[in-house]
Chains A and B, each alone.
Chain A
């Protein structure tokens, strides 16, 4: 016992294998513990608590009443829940335009001409701006009376509806606003990816007569797989996380037509004090997200095993 006690105090001159083995087990725990403790307290444990809350009725204060699956049953019959879920699917599907447009913008900008670095930065910069600002910019842009969009389209004889006040258009108006920074994000991922494409393979394919689309699809895209993967992951997460834009542009309206699960959850918790019901919505969103998280982790695990 005394041996063990003195070990951390004395610096070993000659490394004994026994000490070494212990040191290499204890140190990583010491290094990881603070981060893991914080992360568990603020992230992992709250997830478990939220899932638990989805089985109770609770107003935020006072007693919690166990209601079993009642919150989920109520969700099943809740029209706003289904509208929000369908809107989330619109977000997911339309957000997939971001990697596609990002790829094409990256291809367009992947040239060596004067000032291209500044142009790339300017294309990217919607991503750096807060979503709250993006939301306000687009709300102003869409304004049917004063907005730049209406002003530009009027001479062409195209009248536009009040996009954010129209039940049929509001969601799409917000998604377009969301696509703006998301496309910029995907563009920068692809620009980096294009940097590391093997030029010899491209030259070889060119000598074989491949060009344009065929060259892109057969030779370039396979080499951009890692970039595509990252772009897809951040886009899906971004689509399911949509909250800020909805909050600042429409607050889910008109008549909940532009609501999404994230915002509907918040609305139930903060405006209606229905913590249990809100937790059930959050749990549904969480499980949808888990499909992608598991996909990401499985791929990562495969890479890890390949690497070592």
Chain B
């Protein structure tokens, strides 16, 4: 193990480490701690200029209630859910198929197709912006949930296909060969052999995609205009204008926006990290 396990060092060093660990954590999370502390501060404290001193009262619940009561944050959250979930489902469906197609068969040009999926995923969004906006206008899905959902499905399919293809390529290929020798059709192989085996990959991708799509700001900015369709990332910029002088409410709004992906991460941590670090430990 590197570095040397702290248990093997002197007691003094162990003590230093145990003190340094929480201190470094607090320093690292300082901006976050600041926003949490602000979200619990009452307006009267802010008006008195008491930004960082001991608060005269904790107003977490009041502030969160005020945000839900005085803004459309509930609608924004719901919109984020409506956009995120179908996008994940679509991308996972398409990429499981394509990943299997690229991993289980050898044909000319398969690396080229894979390379296109990967390369497309790395491009700057701006190179897609004007034509995609035009495309959604032509299809009549500009300023609808569908515009964002279809784009997210298409775009995220690139990364997901890369991921699924690598995962399926690592499965024992003998299973597929044995099934083929038995005369099992390719669809049945996919549904009865591959899909049960790729469940961990699907879980990892689902959690990862949830945070990517939930946190995306650019595409709803380009493809959605109506306030009642805005997801929470766009909604926050509305709140920013609305709560220009009550930062405690804006802080509470930010926390509301951040909470779903954070909860998803803590609940599904193992899967999340497996998805994110794909390839970091091999190749």
Contact = CB atoms under 8 A, between A and B. Distances in A.
Contact of A286 (B31, B124, B277): B124
A230 B155 CA distance: 20
B146 interface: no
A132 to B, nearest CB: 5
Nearest to A303: B283
B17 A113 contact: yes
Interface in A166-212: 180, 185, 188-190, 192-197, 199, 202
A136 B240 CA distance: 9
A31 B97 contact: yes
Interface in B82-112: 94-95, 97-98, 100-102, 104-105, 107, 110-111
B211 interface: yes
B98 A226 contact: no
Contact of B7 (A32, A43, A60, A112): A112
Interface string B250-272: 11001001100110111001000
Contact of A15 (B1, B110, B126, B180): B180
A46 B135 contact: yes
A130 B258 contact: yes
B113 A132 contact: no
A69 interface: no
A44 to B, nearest CB: 6
A129 B261 contact: yes
B105 A43 contact: no
Contacts, number: 297
B202 interface: no
A1 B153 CA distance: 39
Contact of B154 (A43, A137, A231, A292): A43
B196 interface: no
Interface of A: 11-15, 20, 23-25, 27-32, 34-36, 38-39, 41-47, 49-51, 53, 60, 107-108, 110-113, 119, 121-126, 128-133, 136-138, 140-141, 146-148, 151, 180, 185, 188-190, 192-197, 199, 202, 215-216, 219-220, 226-227, 230-231, 237, 240-241, 243-244, 247-248, 261-262, 265-266, 269, 275, 278-279, 281-283, 285-286, 289, 292-293, 296-297, 300-301, 303-304, 307
28 contacts: A15-B181, A23-B186, A31-B97, A31-B190, A35-B157, A36-B98, A39-B154, A46-B132, A112-B5, A128-B261, A130-B217, A130-B233, A130-B258, A131-B215, A137-B31, A137-B35, A140-B31, A140-B34, A148-B30, A193-B281, A199-B1, A215-B2, A240-B124, A279-B130, A285-B127, A286-B123, A297-B119, A300-B118
